[in-house]
Amino acid sequence: MVVIEFPDGLHEYVTTPVKRVLKVCGGRHEVYYIQTANSRYRLEMGTQGTVTDAPQSVSTPND
């Protein structure tokens, strides 16, 4: 599972179990694609290590 904590310190978002993590090489930012049991997320990490994209839930076929 992935736990995303919000800056207010009062809220968090918990995903379903992670199935795969893909790191895209190259570019000036680190980009990760995380596939969970029923969603996919794109995380872009800048030089300060901040998440620039909010989670977006999409349906995926079962493997």
Q: Taking 70 as the threshold, does the pLDDT of residue 63 lie above it?
A: no
Q: Give me the number of domains the chain comprises.
A: 1
DSSP letter at 51?
A: B
Residue 2 lies in a domain: no
Q: Taking 60 as the threshold, does the pLDDT of residue 61 lie above it?
A: no
Q: Which residues of 25-40 are buried (b: 16+ CB within 10 A; e: fewer)?
A: eeeeeebeebbbeebb
Residue 9 lies in a domain: no
pLDDT at 12: 93
Which residue range forms the structural domain that includes residue 24? 18-55
pLDDT at 55: 57
Give per-residue pLDDT as tens, 2-59: 888 888 989 998 999 999 999 988 777 889 999 999 999 998 887 654 555 555 555 5
